[in-house]
Amino acid sequence: MGKDSEKHLVGQPILKQIIDLFPRNKFDELVVKHNSDKYYKSFPSWTEFISLLFGILSRCDSSGEICAGMQGLQGKLSYLGLESAPAKSTFGDGLRDRSNELFKDFYFTLINHFSDFLSVSRMEGVSFEQFYIFDSTTISLFSDIMKGVGRNPKNEGKKKGGLKVHMMIDAHSDTAKFVRISEAKLHDKNFLKYLTLPTGSMIVFDKAYNHYLQFARWTHQGVNFVCRLKDNAVYNVQEVLFEKELTENEYGVMREEHIHLKYKENKKIKTLCLRKVTYKDEKGRIYQFITNNFEITNEEVAFLYKKRWGIELVFKKMKQNFQLHFFYSETENGIKTQIWCTLIAHLLLTVLKIKTKTSKAFSTVAVLVRIHLISHLDLFWMIDNCKRTYRKSVNRKNKSPGIQLSIF
């Protein structure tokens, strides 16, 4: 087989090439806005951010691993804009005391910075230009910092606490437009009121977010939604719009109804008009969807809800490809900071995958970046064209005898 003689080496390591994708001036503006460097002369915000990004992309398990790993890169830290590697105690103090709002704002700054680039893609079969998916994922913590997961500990064990990441993504680009981190015990539907949705948009979510008052407000604002109906929901059927008997092997829409639901606003009982679509999937499971849109077909209602799985894939990519099993701090602020930086890392790899137009899986891109993080390879060549290479085998007439092992 042929030998690949092209080195594709550059003067800067992969991590530096990734950092160059950032608008550094906007990060500095946010540092001034939050006054994040006021009490940190030897540990500026940029050093903390780069240290976290190094730990997340290389999947370090602890702050000690991050600091020790960076100390071994003394000759390359200047590439990253750092004078020296942080001490473990200094790194821990920064995670505890420097507000995570800086990294939160920088994440949404990056969303806006890359918005035109990310919005090029369009989900096939969806008639809405603005299509959003909302859901949450739970991350377990062996800590009492954020409560709401697990059971009381036995003997002297730690209580298993947890947090929830509530996220609304743009389904066309798989990027988050809204993120809020809370204790896991808080009910999901309480976060619908924080969403700001444009008129004419469509949002899809699970039945855990059933909130009739919010549904009525969205209907008044011209915002469309599709979700599952709760099993214990009370409603009145006004009219059966469609009905079809399906055989055992058939799947599709079984029934479509115009229903009325009651909700309370300002101590007054009001009525909400919705469509209810009953759908049978390929495995014979029955689903009941509700929507305030009376114009799209009943098949599209079911199709839109199927697309809700896209946000589950985003959560899966984050949990499988980034370090969210171990946290670098035992403080709430430090944990939130790590999550915001993980979202930034996820966004950057998404941008790289789109820029290179590679067919490689997201997990493959993440592994390539992790393995070659400090290599002086061209970033885009590594992702797009990196292939397995083989050395040309050379047949030698006079081979030196190797060590022979006898196995009995």
How confident is the model over 121-155, as pLDDT tens digits? Answer: 677 778 898 999 999 888 876 555 555 444 444 45
Sheet of 131-141: strands edge to edge? 175-183, 161-170, 131-141, 202-205, 224-228, 286-291, 268-280, 252-265, 236-243
pLDDT tens, position by position, 55-71: 999 999 899 999 998 88
Question: Residue 208: how many CB atoms within 10 A of its CB?
Answer: 14
Is there a domain that residue 130 lies in? no
Is the pLDDT at 393 greater than 60? The verdict is no
Q: Which two tokens stand for residue 295?
A: 């114009």
Residues 6+ apart with CB under 8 A from 237: 257, 258, 259, 276
Looking at residue 152, its pLDDT comes to 45
Is there a domain that residue 239 lies in? yes
pLDDT tens, position by position, 92-120: 999 999 999 999 999 999 999 988 777 76
Residues 6+ apart with CB under 8 A from 186: 148, 164
Q: Which two tokens stand for residue 209?
A: 């977010």
Is there a domain that residue 132 lies in? no
- Asked if 95 and 334 touch (Cβ cutoff 8 Å), the reply is yes
Is there a domain that residue 84 lies in? yes
Spatial separation of the C-alpha atoms in residues 97 and 82, rounded to whole Å = 20
Mark whether 351 and 275 lie in a shared domain: no
For the chain, the average pLDDT equals: 84
Per-residue pLDDT, averaged over 366-389, amounts to: 82
pLDDT tens, position by position, 193-230: 889 999 999 999 998 888 999 999 999 999 999 999 99
Mark whether 221 and 299 lie in a shared domain: yes
Mark whether 47 and 103 lie in a shared domain: yes
Mark whether 56 and 86 lie in a shared domain: yes
Angle at CA of residue 247, ends 246 and 252, nearest 5°: 40
Is there a domain that residue 250 lies in? yes
Mark whether 242 and 333 lie in a shared domain: no
Is there a domain that residue 249 lies in? yes
Residues 6+ apart with CB under 8 A from 80: 15, 16, 19, 50
Mark whether 71 and 23 lie in a shared domain: yes
Mark whether 221 and 268 lie in a shared domain: yes
Mark whether 223 and 254 lie in a shared domain: yes
Note the pTM of the prediction, 2 decimals: 0.81
Is there a domain that residue 165 lies in? no
Instruction: Tally the domains of the chain.
Output: 2
Residue ending a domain, choose from 254, 277, 307: 307
Residue ending a domain, choose from 307, 342, 364: 307
Mark whether 36 and 99 lie in a shared domain: yes
Mark whether 226 and 301 lie in a shared domain: yes
- Per the structure, the complete domain to which residue 301 belongs is given by 207-307
